[in-house]
Amino acid sequence: MIEEQLEQSKSTQTKPIYYATTPIFYVNAEPHIGHAYTTTLVDVAARFHRLRGDDTYFLTGTDEHGEKIQKAADAAGLTPQAYTDQVSGKFRATWDSLDISYDEFIRTTEERHQEVVNDVLQRVYDNGDIIFGEYGGLYCVGCERYYTEKELVDGRCPQHDIVLEYRSEENYFFRMEKYRPWLRELLEDNPELIRPERYRNEVLGILREPIGDLSISRPRARVPWGIPLPWDENHVTYVWFDALINYYSALKSHGTEGHYWPHVEHFIAKDILKPHGVFWPTMLKSAGLPLYQHLNVHGYWLVDGGKMSKSKGNVVRPLDLKDKYGNDAFRYYLLRDMSFGLDASFSEVGLAERINSDLANDLGNLLNRTLGMLGKYRQGRVPEAGDLEPIDAALRDAFVTLPDRLTVMVDNLQFDRAIESVLEAVRKANKYIAETQPWALAKDEANAKRLDTVLYTCLEALRCASILLSPIIPNKAEELRAQLGLGGAFTLDDAKAWGLTPAGTATKLGAPLFPRVDLAALNESLEVKEAVIEHKPEVTIDDFARLEFRVAEILKAEAHPKADKLLVLTVKLGGEERTIVSGIKKWYDPSALAGKKVIIVANLKPVKLRGIESQGMILAAEDAEGNLSISALDRDIASGSEVR
């Protein structure tokens, strides 16, 4: 891949250059929807720039050093290298599964990266910007940085919501404060350097007061998992002074830094704004390296009203959604339902509704109607269009003017608006069919040429839509073109032209691009998941001790009147009776449940499931095929007995 890029760069010197990076993700946890959003976002941007014909390079990777990684490896019973190999491999496999078109995947444990880190460190050291000293302060292992009292929220880390420990140790420090006036003036003179503006203003707010010097090392005796400093092997490089350099080291290692680096576009989430907005530019300035073109900062995907957290058990796994709904539908939702820079609330129901409305009803319906009529009236062959009437020209103009508009929107990070603009044109095409009524034209042979023009206009609308949507839904866009009988390479300019579908082309209507989601069944399944505690947060022994497990005898069972998968059980718990709603209908005949003894969680807060209050939860075991069993007792134990 690198060799191909180098060859291409020799013949594309006049092309615009676009170098896009994701953060390199920290390997203390597996990929979740937040990682997937950033990476998919950059993938869409890179695909769009390739579509424009730009000389495009896309970098992603993993950040693998530091105290937190060392502790995670120890907990897993692995060496740090074996642990990072394992988790980094999961990131790469996830991006491959999600069809992320990265050009390079870098790991900070690679020797080529470490060589560049040493070179940059030595430059900064030789410049007199690294000093040795002692520092004491509140330290977060999760963030791998010190916090001031002012930065805390209710005395806790703003990212991890934990009480911080006080540490004091000798470190090397980067003289970051020296560059504060320069950076503040730079941001004031270049308002587009950090986008959107709210994040530039946030960095300017940080720079209004002293920022201090940055600790850039840890004693090797305490944190051996890191890159030793080139002038003092008793210290290893602090994680940010290692990790941030990846954006440059990936290019430097194969000699393309002069070509791509001046055009770098960083994409990050807002939680790492300070390292990228303050640490990184001052590091580059000291090392004598050019700054990035833009730092593009997006918001969070919120779940249940808050940020995703392993400890809260609300992590959304991208591969689960990809496997359930298809990768292109998942990508579409991520880009369509978040306005860049703002937070967005994730909802599986919202994803399904977006599939049904935009992808099935609008785009899929246009394809099915057009090819259905083409098969019925023209044996599936593309006709030759006649002269365009104003209504035809209006639809043509709605599509051929889009590429230039989309270019501006993508350049301005308005990905959701860009997608909606294409869907507006698709809806106009559906409206066009309703207004021109091809089925009525087909009744009179005198209208044959007019029918040809209408059908051809619909086909061209679909061809253009497939090109414009290809960065977002690359596989389904290709599938759409295949149904149109089209293949081969295409560019954004092809969407500016009208009439490129050859007459006589054989089309073939295939399966629906995006099958509709049964929303009623989805809602029901999500309620069942909630009922059986699908989310499994990490708990302490104290948390576990608060749960009360008891034996209950099922007195009767009947189908839930409003849910196909739920049973309403009346159970005996010692001297009382309770109602429990359970999603076990698929595995158990209600008439056969009376008399069975089961284990329940007896002290859960009651919750209404499809209108009936459930006063507990049955424990069930699940086998490899997904079958449930609620019978876990090997002897007759009285109902109400405590389970220990």
Which residues are annotated as part of the binding site for Zn(2+)? 140, 143, 157, 160
- Residue in the structure block whose two tokens are 């009292």: 149
Distance of alpha carbon 404 from alpha carbon 215, whole angstroms: 46
- Quick check: 551 and 544 in contact, CB under 8 A? no
Question: One of 254, 310, 443, 535 is an active-site residue; which one?
Answer: 310
Question: One of 15, 71, 160, 178 is an active-site residue; which one?
Answer: 160
User: Which long-range CB contacts under 8 A does 327-331 form with residues at least 24 apart?
Assistant: 327/97, 327/98, 327/99, 327/475, 328/472, 328/473, 328/474, 328/475, 328/476, 328/477, 328/514, 329/354, 329/355, 329/359, 329/473, 329/514, 330/36, 330/98, 331/40, 331/44, 331/98, 331/472, 331/473
- Quick check: 52 and 313 in contact, CB under 8 A? no
Instruction: Please say if 458 is a catalytic residue.
Output: no
Burial of 465 (0-12, 13-18, 19+ CB in 10 A): buried
- Quick check: 466 and 480 in contact, CB under 8 A? yes
Question: One of 90, 307, 428, 596 is an active-site residue; which one?
Answer: 307
Residue 598 bridge partners (DSSP): 552
Phi, psi of 240 (to 5 degrees): -70, -35
Give how far the C-alpha of residue 337 lies from the chain's centroid of Cα atoms, to the nearest Å. Answer: 12
DSSP string, 45-109: HHHHHHHHT-EEEEEEEEE--SHHHHHHHHHHTS-HHHHHHHHHHHHHHHHHHTT---SEEEETT
CA nearest to 425, candidates 383, 487, 387, 467: 467
- Residue in the structure block whose two tokens are 């639809």: 395
- Tokens in use for 621? 């075991």
CB atoms within 10 A of CB 523: 15
Instruction: Please say if 160 is a catalytic residue.
Output: yes
Residue 268 bridge partners (DSSP): 297
Distance of alpha carbon 404 from alpha carbon 495, whole angstroms: 10
Instruction: Please say if 376 is a catalytic residue.
Output: no
Residue 601 bridge partners (DSSP): 549, 617
Q: Strand (E) positions, 448-560?
A: 549-559
Distance of alpha carbon 367 from alpha carbon 459, whole angstroms: 8
Question: One of 49, 65, 68, 157 is an active-site residue; which one?
Answer: 157
What sign results for the dihedral spanned by CA atoms 95, 97, 100, 103? positive
Question: One of 143, 259, 285, 597 is an active-site residue; which one?
Answer: 143
Cite the annotated binding site by residue number: 140, 143, 157, 160
Question: One of 49, 113, 140, 285 is an active-site residue; which one?
Answer: 140
DSSP string, 120-172: HHHHHHHTT-EEEEEEEEEEETTTTEEE-GGG-BTTB-TTT--BPEEEEEEEE
- DSSP letter at 442? T
Instruction: Please say if 310 is a catalytic residue.
Output: yes
Instruction: Please say if 464 is a catalytic residue.
Output: no
Give how far the C-alpha of residue 256 lies from the chain's centroid of Cα atoms, to the nearest Å. Answer: 28
- DSSP letter at 506? B
Q: Which positions are catalytic?
A: 32, 35, 140, 143, 157, 160, 307, 310
